[in-house]
Amino acid sequence: MTGIPKTQYAQIFEKTGGPIQYREIPVQAPGPDEILVNVKYSGVCHTDLHAWKGDWPLDTKLPLVGGHEGAGVVVAKGDQVTNFEIGDYAGVKWLNGSCLSCEFCINGYEPNCPHALLSGYTVDGSFQQYAIAKAIHAAPIPKGTDLAKIAPILCAGITVYKALKESDAKPGQWVAITGAGGGLGTLAIQYAKAMGLRVLGIDTGDVKSKMTQSLGAEVFIDFATTPDIVAEVIKVTNGGPHAVINVAVAEKPFEMSCKYVRPRGTVVVVGLPAHAYVKSEVFSTVVKSITIKGSYVGNRADTDEAIDFFSRGLVESPIRIVGLSELPKVFELMEKGEIAGRYVLDTSK
Ligand code: 8ID
Ligand code: ZN
């Protein structure tokens, strides 16, 4: 590993919800099937905030370096690695690795692998200058790509693209997106447009209203000021959206979406608010014959396809770049719901 420093800057926490420390830690060497990525930029996903807060019924490793939207350059690789060369661009995504041999991996459902390794959760992630990823799952990024701009595609982009495919919505049909002004939402609008769908965005505030409409939402509904959201959604979509992509970090929108979704429509559950349930009244679930389904990131094919939409200029996350040292401030803004689009960390600062 010539030319690679022994230590590097990282954002690390020792305790769930404890202080997040910006300090130097050792650079690890990749194992035989791994690559070492010099992360240039990393998006900050709300999942990183959930991980730090301990919101979910799944423990993180501790101490933990979070982050799973890392875009960078391969600087070292194990001797079994054949799909990356030194100098290639690579993405460190949520699904860091999987067994590749279980029933789920074999069928392309790699995120559901019981042995999945999760970047920034069960293994250290991209809030550091040098991160390790299993080569087989790392995202190949075309040379010449703007690494700051592609970072959010590595989780937010893949996830919403997959969720839209899972929704089975057809070109010309309506899709509602809850949490439309956030990191996942702003990309969901653009993938949906590119797939020929009509988009209704639900979120709050003038900034998110303007942003979502400039990205292609035909209608914006403000959840904080609209008295009867369900009635309004049904009215503007002339009978309810054919699909709903729920990326809001709140429980209420899930329940509402089961009420306003069009008969035979699909409610896709993507957002992961703490301790939340999806509640749908049985009678109307049956009589409207709706589908409620969970969607969890994407597999390697979804990754390549989601990146291809980006490379062809069809989607671009509205990003704001700040230094890696600013992560705690980004979490504060995210907690308050004040981030429109995505914050991306520059690991050199
Ligand atoms: O694979 C998956 N299923 C997956 C992948 C990646 C992320 C799931 N996630 C989850 C995250 O863990 C998080 O719970 O998706 C959720 C959204 O992540 P994000 O887009 O990174 O979060 P954000 O940028 O904070 O955006 C959330 C938006 O929701 C809005 C907020 O205003 C914000 O713009 N929102 C809230 I909070 N309550 C709302 C409501 N009642 C709402 N929008 C509509 N109605
Ligand atoms: Zn994420």
Indicate the pLDDT class of residue 217, thresholds 50, 70 and 90.
very high
- 155-179 pLDDT, tens digit per residue, is 999 999 999 999 999 999 999 999 9
Within 6 A (CB) of ligand 1 lie 45-47, 50, 155, 159, 178-179, 181-185, 202-204, 223, 247-250, 252-253, 270-273, 295-297, 334, 337, 339
Return d(Cα 154, Cα 70) in angstroms, integer: 7
Query: Residue 192 belongs to what H/E stretch?
Result: helix 183-194
- 43-91 pLDDT, tens digit per residue, is 999 999 999 999 999 999 999 999 999 999 999 999 999 999 999 999 9
Least distant ligand from the CA of 111: 1
* Residue 3, pLDDT score: 86
Q: Which residues of 118-137 are buried (b: 16+ CB within 10 A; e: fewer)?
A: bbbbbbbbbbbbbbbbbbbb
What is the position in ligand 1's atom list of the atom closest to the CA of 49?
A: 12
Token pair 């030194």: residue:
86
Please state the φ and ψ torsions of residue 154, each to the nearest 5 degrees: -70, -20
Percent of the chain scoring above 90 in pLDDT: 99
Best substitution site from 118, 184, 251 to test ligand 1's pocket, by max atoms within 8 Å of Cβ? 184
Closest CA to 3 of 27, 25, 20: 27
Contacts for 185 with CB less than 8 Å, ≥ 6 apart: 160, 177, 178, 179, 201, 203, 212, 247, 248
Expressed in angstroms and rounded, the spacing between residue 47 Cα and the centre of ligand 2 is: 5
* Residue 294, pLDDT score: 98
* Residue 1, pLDDT score: 66
Domains and CATH numbers, the chain: 7-155+298-346 (3.90.180.10), 157-294 (3.40.50.720)
Indicate the pLDDT class of residue 212, thresholds 50, 70 and 90.
very high
Least distant ligand from the CA of 203: 1
- 250-275 pLDDT, tens digit per residue, is 999 999 999 999 999 999 999 999 99
Indicate the pLDDT class of residue 23, thresholds 50, 70 and 90.
very high
Q: pTM above the 0.95 mark?
A: yes
Positive or negative: CA dihedral 124, 88, 26, 148: negative
What average pLDDT score do residues 207-211 get? Answer: 98
Return d(Cα 47, Cα 72) in angstroms, integer: 20
- 282-307 pLDDT, tens digit per residue, is 999 999 999 999 999 999 999 999 99
Closest CA to 93 of 245, 304, 274, 269: 304
Least distant ligand from the CA of 160: 1
Secondary structure E strands in the chain: 7-13, 20-26, 34-43, 64-65, 70-77, 89-92, 95-97, 117-118, 130-134, 139-141, 174-178, 198-203, 219-222, 243-246, 266-269, 291-294, 319-323, 342-346
Whether 223 contacts 204, CB under 8 Å: yes
pLDDT of residue 222 exceeding 80, the answer is: yes
pLDDT of residue 319 exceeding 90, the answer is: yes
